[in-house]
Chain A
Amino acid sequence: MIQKKICMLGAFAVGKTSLVVQFVKSIFSEKYHTTVGVKIDKKTLRVAEQDVMCILWDLHGEDEFQKVQMSYLRGAAGYLLVIDGTRRESLETAIRLQKNVETTVGRIPFVAVLNKSDLHDLWELDDSQLKALEAQGWNFIRTSAKTGMGVEESFRMLAEKML
């Protein structure tokens, strides 16, 4: 069994925690976010004939009041960069966070998760911008924490990139 530390990063209220809740049953309460800024959960995946235990560090969403503590990313094998498809600014935050991670922790695998993809009507992101990012090596996956769509896949994709 291989263990990997995975971080969940993203702007405030993009649905990081909802994704985790879909993915795994948590033992810690939501309070951790507002106190220490992180909540830890785990999920075991079977990837490439190997059991991988993902220790998920669900970091507090970044907003105008609270910055993501980059020290929580130390030792992470990869991260999910969660974007709220219905809020353009969450993509900008994601881009800023990704750069931030690259400068403080280094280039580590990540998957950009476009959450709330069930809300087609409210979709704000334009494909051209996403394509430009894909050209820079970003991998996007559409998910819905509400329906569970793409959740498992996003983690699996990240795990495959890490191994």
Chain B
Amino acid sequence: MAGREADDIPEYSDAEAQATHLNEMAELHRLLLPPAGEAGDDLDALRQLLAEVERNNELTQVRRLLVGPEQDGLTALRTRLEDPRHRAEDIAEVLAEAVVLRSAQDKKLTKALAPAIAEALTISIKKDPKALIDILFPIIGSMIRKAIATVLGSMVQSLNQTLEHSFSIQGLKWRLEARATGKPFAEVVLLHTLVYQVEQVFLIHKNTGLMLEHVTAANIEARDPDLISGMLTAIQDFVHDSFAVGQGESLETLRVGEVNVWIEAGPLAVVAMVIRGTAPAEARLAMIDAIEAIHLEAGEALEAFQGDATVFAGVRPHLESCLMSQYGARQKEAGFKLHPALAGTLAVVGVALVVWLWWGWRDARRWEAYVERLHREPGIVVTFSSQQGGRFILRGLRDPLAVDPQSLAAGFKVDPNRIETRWEPYQAMASQFVLARASRVLHPPPTVTMSLEGTVLHLSGTASAAWIRDAGRLAQGVAGIESLDGSQLKDSDQAEMTEETARLEKQVIQFAVGSAAPLPGQEAVLQEVARHCQRLGELARRLERQVAVTISGFTDETGTETTNSRLSQKRAETVRLWLLQNGVSGVMLQAQGSAPQTPVRSPETEPVVARRVSFQVNLR
């Protein structure tokens, strides 16, 4: 153990330390007690020695007494050390502990052992490879499968990508399924394209070809499985012997039409599966799992098999787990697949169709809402409405005063240009229409308010006598009005006449002493008088009356009566003339003089004005 790598291992093991110690002890012992052999060569020396021994006999005895037991112990130890079998026994006793201790310290022991173990394995494999294969068989499968699964995973990934670009109705369904189940798309495609059933599973003893166990699918009737087991074994042997195949290789698949026989061989037993259809790779994995599990569980029974297969009943579940099947939808013989361009066109057409239908639906909704609105609109009676080839048709009656139906269309997002209408005019009897019509005929002044009560038109407020007179006549011709009530209506002209008369009669034109010409600044008053006269004339004409304004001239108390009389007459004439010259017409103007009178006082604070002209209105 320490021989090869002694340089690397300066420390000695416990056994070696012990041996060193014992060597030292033996040397000491030899010095103390020289062995008899050394003296035996020379007789003289022997004699001398014997004499000496005799001489020292007592001393020797003393020595024996002193070191005797130690000497025996040392002799025993020496014998032990010189005997290789004993040494091996000693080392074997502590070897395991020593290895554990050393391994805990550092890796030197492992390093030292590595080449030897490698060599030992090489020799072992060369000698009998089957032994190692048998040892590794139950675990190596899962190791390899794990590695292969990684590679296959990436392959499936790329297959996935390839399939991503293909488009078909079926594909779309599978894609939805993949999304729903969370499986890769490629896996879903494979599942659907593979339809199979594992009909029978055989467990066959490899050496004898005898059937150990056999399971069948529920609907399958198996014929002589033990004979088939034998035949399968024979066929395997035949293939193996007839064709130069390597050691450990065997027939894996038989195929006739749609029946496949899959064979998976372990070191001691073989699982064979009869499959109808195309089974997926998982089925093979299930077989491998089964055979591995069976070897683990029943390896010893397989080795010791002497023809009694009943002991293998316990492995049935492993075989049953291989009874897989897939009854998916069988792929159609000619898969319906669309050319991408056609598919694209169809998609565009489909989208367009949907949009078009949606537009149509939306237009219909809007049209219905619009027609509904027209039904509620006063003054409009829809007798027919329809949608024909993108155009809207409306027929009915419409009061000319009703709202324009086209103008409402915009509110409902209906294109007015697409509406064809034919409205028959009629007169609506709803009160707002009767009033509107009356308003259009009567043209009432803003001071007049109209209201309808049944068929009676009530008027209130003020209006000119002429309008009142005309209204009574015109109202008879308005549809929906049978009579007029004007009792609440006042004649505005009469009232104004009274107001104008009062205003005019308050006016006074003033004159200087002894003069018939108005005082400077009286021009504005004259203008005012002229306006009142003119208005009076108009009102009198409308009321079909005649109005006369008497213009009276006055003087102060100074001067003679004759002079004053003449002066007053002249002052009145001057004003009359001015009014006539300034366009007053339609009013009879009369000028008259008078004797001096009591000065006239204005109502408030105006000083007494004697020299003046005043007015008086007479209505006839």
Query: Which residues of A pack against B, CB within 8 Å?
Result: 1-5, 27-28, 32, 36-38, 40-42, 52-53, 55, 57, 69, 71-72, 74-77
Contact = CB atoms under 8 A, between A and B. Distances in A.
Contact of B208 (A28, A36, A37, A76): A76
Q: Which of A2, A3, A32, A53 has the most CB of B within 10 A?
A: A3
A1 B309 CA distance: 8
Interface string B229-258: 011001101101100000000000000000
A69 B307 contact: no
B256 to A, nearest CB: 14
Contacts of B227: 27-28, 40-42, 55
Q: Considering the complex of A and B, which 9 residue pairs feature the smallest CB-CB distances, nearest first?
A: A75-B208, A75-B207, A40-B230, A2-B307, A36-B238, A38-B234, A5-B208, A3-B210, A71-B237
28 contacts: A1-B310, A2-B307, A3-B208, A3-B307, A4-B210, A4-B307, A27-B227, A36-B234, A36-B235, A40-B227, A42-B224, A42-B226, A52-B307, A55-B210, A55-B226, A55-B230, A57-B209, A57-B234, A69-B241, A71-B240, A71-B241, A74-B237, A75-B206, A75-B207, A75-B209, A76-B208, A77-B208, A77-B307
Given A28-B231, A77-B208, A3 B238 contact: no
B224 A27 contact: yes
Contacts of B230: 5, 40, 42, 55, 57
A86 B234 CA distance: 31
Nearest to B208: A75
B210 A75 contact: yes
A38 B226 contact: no
A53 B307 CA distance: 9
B276 interface: no
B238 A38 contact: yes
Given A40-B230, A77-B208, A2 B308 contact: yes
B571 interface: no
A72 B306 CA distance: 18
Contacts of A72: 234, 237
Interface residues of B, number: 24
A42 B309 CA distance: 16
A42 B240 CA distance: 24
Nearest to A69: B241
Contacts of A69: 237-238, 241
B211 interface: yes
Contacts of A57: 209, 230, 234
B205 interface: yes
Interface in B190-242: 205-211, 223-224, 226-227, 230-231, 234-235, 237-238, 240-241
A2 B226 CA distance: 12
Contacts, number: 70
A72 B209 CA distance: 9
B308 A53 contact: no
Contacts of A75: 205-210
A10 to B, nearest CB: 17
Interface of B: 205-211, 223-224, 226-227, 230-231, 234-235, 237-238, 240-241, 306-310
Contacts of B209: 5, 55, 57, 75
A69 B241 CA distance: 8
B232 to A, nearest CB: 9
Q: Which of A28, A52, A53, A55 has the most CB of B within 10 A?
A: A55
A2 B308 CA distance: 5
Contact of B309 (A3, A27, A37, A71): A3
Given A3-B226, A5-B230, A41-B227, 17 more contacts: A2-B306, A3-B210, A3-B211, A3-B309, A5-B210, A27-B223, A40-B227, A40-B231, A42-B224, A42-B226, A42-B227, A55-B226, A69-B237, A71-B240, A74-B207, A74-B208, A77-B307
A74 B306 CA distance: 14
Contact of B238 (A27, A37, A55): A37
A1 B235 CA distance: 25
Contacts of A32: 231
Nearest to B309: A3
A4 B224 CA distance: 15
A4 B307 CA distance: 6
A37 B237 CA distance: 10
Contacts of B231: 28, 32, 40
A71 B250 CA distance: 14
A71 B242 CA distance: 11
A101 to B, nearest CB: 15
A37 B307 CA distance: 24
Contacts of B237: 69, 71-72, 74
A29 to B, nearest CB: 12
A9 to B, nearest CB: 14
Contacts of A74: 207-208, 237
B139 to A, nearest CB: 26
A130 B130 CA distance: 42
B515 to A, nearest CB: 169
Contacts of B206: 75
A57 B308 CA distance: 19
A44 to B, nearest CB: 10
B225 to A, nearest CB: 10
B290 to A, nearest CB: 21
Nearest to A70: B241
A71 B227 CA distance: 18
A76 B209 CA distance: 9
A28 B308 CA distance: 25
A103 to B, nearest CB: 17
A41 B205 CA distance: 17
A75 B205 CA distance: 9
A53 B238 contact: no
Contacts of B307: 2-4, 52, 77
A27 to B, nearest CB: 6
A41 B208 CA distance: 14
A37 to B, nearest CB: 7
A101 B227 CA distance: 23
Contacts of A53: 226
Q: Which of B223, B224, B234, B310 has the most CB of A within 10 A?
A: B234
A51 to B, nearest CB: 11
A32 B237 CA distance: 14
B511 to A, nearest CB: 165
Contacts of B308: 1-3
A40 B234 contact: yes
A72 B237 CA distance: 7
Contacts of A37: 238
